[in-house]
């Protein structure tokens, strides 16, 4: 509904622009035929131009994830109370009432015209059809029909009238009248359209007077005929009728000297105004995030990030596919795409293939998916690695991310049982759910999370045939995340991982055992592509972020 109101407002502005140019600059000029096309062009442009727009893409740098704090605050703000009255429907109802009334008036006028023409004797002469009617009405023309009452005029007067109406019929002025009439019905609420309609009808009379006077020897007799016709007040609304109320203006224009050609510059005044309208209102600016490129100091490594958001369009997904293929020779396919009524993504499956490495991400949601990205890391030798970057939630939702690359102990009771395989498990705990997580350097212990069963799920699966690894990440409801990585060989972090405690980098001798687990707010572990993307070369052995309960 808002789009309709915007269209109407733009159309009214354009119509006002053309009318003002005509009224202040052109109506006193004798360029009658040029004025005709100028006025018609104004109606057509005012109805079409608001529908046309030019899309301008502005590339911006990716916004840091810290902005999610602002987004979270905005989302949590109380919604404004909406009024029970739907003003859009009321306005639409009022418009339709007026539209129907004027449409019915048009139907009545057509019926009146048909009753005058139908059944009458028609005299054909060249391309004209003459009807001599006994009714006391003003002479008029309707396409090829010219209707008059010969008993009301002398022979010379009738000759003047017929010459005038022949001009209307020959130049198809009826089309102009109908166009202006239809516009006055559609935009009946706009006072400018009624002035515009009057200007069109008046200019058509100027044309007919000018052309008819060239074929008549006695111009004064023609003007007297104009005055005589003013006594006949019965006119057919949708026709070109000889009588118009502005007789004085018509006589003035008949005796006016021809305008000089140099005055035609006035028509071009509208061009810069239209250009300004297009620039101000018809250029749609779309901001797109520029692909992130992280240069690691001292090396020629880089990490490229291609973001997929909830409102990513099919065209944007296609653009990501083309860039991954052309820049990195990586195959990208998006399938199982589902959207809601607002065209936001609620489900998507991503398949990525980089040589022997394959990565798959499946996201489904009862609302909209969370933002994620395709990461491509290039080392100094030009080798590519690809991964999935998920949105960081640690700051806004105060979730806990825990990852340990040692043996796993699952406590379903008071007895612990060791698993034989080496694995990584990452669990993100919702602080609102009843979950206790205990961490130490050699084991991982967790209890079941009391979470809602009707949650959204996303899965990321990465396989690498060279190292025979399988990594699976499951996201439940955007709150609980479990990532399991199994391998035929040990997947532990090589070397000493980088430790960040409360935002500060700890020395390599820092011992995690010195931290009281009860004082830990959250722990996040980053490996591989994600670690390098965030911390550069220092994160090549992995990164452990720890936040205390301050």
What pLDDT score was predicted for residue 445?
30
d(CA 303, CA 297): 12
Residue 254 lies in a domain: yes
Q: What pLDDT is stored for residue 425 in this prediction? A: 35
Cα angle at 525 between 522 and 528, to 5 degrees?
160
Residue 124 sits in the same domain as residue 254: yes
Distance CA 40, CA 238 (A): 17
Tokens of 400: 């806990």
Looking at the structure, tell me whether residues 255 and 275 fall in a common domain.
no
Sequential pLDDT tens for the chain (550 residues)? 778 889 999 999 999 999 999 999 999 999 999 999 999 999 999 999 999 988 887 777 655 544 444 444 444 445 555 556 888 889 889 999 999 999 999 999 999 999 989 888 999 998 999 999 988 888 899 999 999 999 988 999 999 999 999 999 999 999 999 999 999 999 999 999 999 999 999 999 999 999 998 888 888 888 888 877 765 556 666 776 655 557 778 888 888 889 999 999 999 999 999 999 999 998 887 777 665 555 554 444 677 888 888 888 888 888 889 888 888 889 999 998 988 888 889 889 888 988 888 888 888 887 888 888 888 888 777 788 887 776 544 333 333 333 333 333 333 333 343 333 333 333 333 334 333 333 333 333 333 333 344 445 555 555 555 544 444 444 444 443 434 444 444 344 446 788 888 888 888 788 777 777 778 877 787 777 677 777 877 877 888 888 887 6
40's CB contacts (< 8 A; 6+ apart) are 176, 179, 200
Whole-number Å distance between alpha carbons of 291 and 308 = 11
Contact 118, 217 (CB under 8 A): no
pLDDT at res. 229: 73
Last residue of a domain, one of 245, 274, 290: 290
With b meaning 16 or more CB within 10 Å and e meaning fewer, what string describes 437-469?
bebeeeebbbeebebeeeebebbbbbebeeeeb
Cα distance between residue 149 and residue 235, in whole Å: 13
Residue for token pair 């720890």:
546
442: left (phi over 0), alpha (psi -120 to 50) or beta: alpha
Sheet holding 498-501, edge to edge: 504-505, 498-501, 543-548, 520-526
183 plus 236 within the same structural domain: yes
DSSP sequence for 305-358: EEEE-TT--HHHHHHHHHHHHHHH--EEEEEEEEE-TTS-EEEEEEEEEETTEE
Answer yes or no: is 48 within a domain.
yes
pLDDT of residue 232: 57
DSSP assignment string, 389-428: EEPP-HHHH--EEEEE-SEEEE-SSSS--B-SS-EEEEEE
What three-state secondary structure class fits 84?
coil
* Whether residues 125 and 234 fall in one domain: yes
Dist CA 481 CA 427 (whole Å): 5
Q: Does 236 map to a domain?
A: yes
Q: Are residues 246 and 271 in the same domain?
A: no
At residue 294, the pLDDT reads 53
Per-residue DSSP letter, 542: -
Examine residue 359 and state whether it is found in any structural domain, yes or no: no
User: Residue 379, Cβ neighbours under 10 Å: how many?
Assistant: 14
Beta strand spans in 184-321 (E): 240-241, 283-289, 292-295, 302-308
Helix, strand, or coil here: 22? helix
User: Where is the domain boundary, 259, 276, 300?
Assistant: 259
* Angle made by CA atoms 489, 493, 495, in degrees to the nearest 5: 120
My answer on whether 150 and 177 are in the same domain is yes
Provide the whole-model pTM: 0.56
| Same domain as 270, residue 224 | no
Total domains present in the chain: 2
Q: Are residues 199 and 230 in the same domain?
A: yes
DSSP string, 139-160: -EEETTEEEE-GGGS-HHHHHH
Full domain range(s) for residue 198: 119-259
């Amino acid at each position: 509904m808002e789009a309709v109101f915007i269209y109407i407002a733009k159309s009214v502005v354009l119509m006002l622009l053309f009318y003002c140019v005509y009224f202040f600059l052109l109506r006193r000029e004798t360029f009658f035929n040029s004025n005709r096309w100028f006025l018609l062009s104004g109606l057509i442009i005012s109805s079409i131009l608001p529908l046309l727009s030019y899309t301008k893409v502005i590339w911006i740098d990716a916004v840091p994830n810290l902005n999610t704090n602002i987004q979270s605050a905005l989302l949590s703000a109380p919604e404004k109370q909406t009024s029970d009255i739907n003003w859009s429907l009321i306005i639409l109802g009022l418009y339709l009432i007026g539209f129907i009334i004027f449409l019915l008036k048009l139907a009545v006028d057509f019926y009146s015209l048909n009753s005058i023409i139908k059944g009458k004797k028609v005299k054909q002469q060249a391309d004209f059809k003459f009807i001599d009617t006994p009714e006391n009405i003003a002479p008029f023309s309707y396409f090829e029909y010219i209707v008059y009452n010969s008993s009301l005029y002398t022979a010379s007067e009738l000759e003047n009238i017929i010459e005038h109406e022949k001009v209307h019929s020959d130049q198809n002025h009826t089309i102009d009248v109908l166009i202006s009439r239809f516009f006055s019905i559609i935009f009946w609420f706009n006072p400018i359209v009624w002035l515009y309609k009057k200007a069109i009808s008046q200019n058509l009379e100027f044309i007919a007077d000018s052309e008819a006077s060239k074929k008549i020897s006695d111009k004064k007799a023609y003007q007297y005929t104009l005055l005589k016709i003013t006594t006949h007040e019965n006119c057919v609304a949708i026709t070109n009728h000889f009588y118009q109320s502005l007789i004085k203006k018509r006589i003035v224009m008949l005796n006016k000297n021809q305008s000089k050609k140099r005055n035609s510059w006035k028509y071009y005044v509208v061009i810069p105004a239209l250009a300004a309208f297009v620039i101000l209102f018809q250029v749609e600016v779309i901001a797109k995030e520029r692909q992130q490129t992280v240069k690691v100091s001292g090396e020629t490594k880089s990490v490229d990030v291609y973001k997929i958001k909830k409102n990513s369009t099919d065209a944007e997904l296609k653009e990501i596919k083309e860039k991954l293929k052309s820049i990195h020779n990586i195959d990208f396919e998006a399938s199982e795409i589902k959207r809601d009524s607002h065209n936001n993504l609620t489900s998507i499956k991503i398949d990525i293939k980089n040589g022997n490495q394959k990565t798959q991400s499946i996201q489904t949601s009862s609302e909209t998916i969370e933002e994620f990205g395709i990461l491509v890391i290039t080392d100094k030798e030009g080798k590519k690695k690809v991964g999935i970057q998920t949105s960081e939630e640690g700051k806004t939702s105060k979730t806990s991310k825990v990852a340990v690359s040692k043996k796993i102990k699952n406590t379903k009771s008071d007895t612990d049982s060791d698993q034989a395989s080496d694995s990584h498990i990452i669990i993100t705990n919702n602080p609102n759910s009843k979950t206790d997580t205990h961490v130490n350097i050699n084991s991982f212990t967790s209890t079941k999370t009391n979470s809602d069963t009707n949650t959204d799920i996303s899965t990321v699966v990465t396989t690498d045939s060279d190292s025979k690894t399988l990594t699976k990440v499951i996201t439940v409801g955007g709150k609980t995340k479990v990532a399991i990585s199994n391998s035929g060989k040990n997947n532990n972090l090589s070397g000493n991982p980088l430790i960040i405690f409360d935002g500060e980098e700890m020395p390599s001798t820092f011992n995690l055992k010195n931290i009281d687990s009860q004082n830990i707010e959250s722990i996040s572990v980053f490996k591989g592509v994600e670690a390098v993307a965030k911390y550069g070369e220092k994160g090549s052995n992995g990164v452990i972020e720890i936040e205390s309960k301050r």
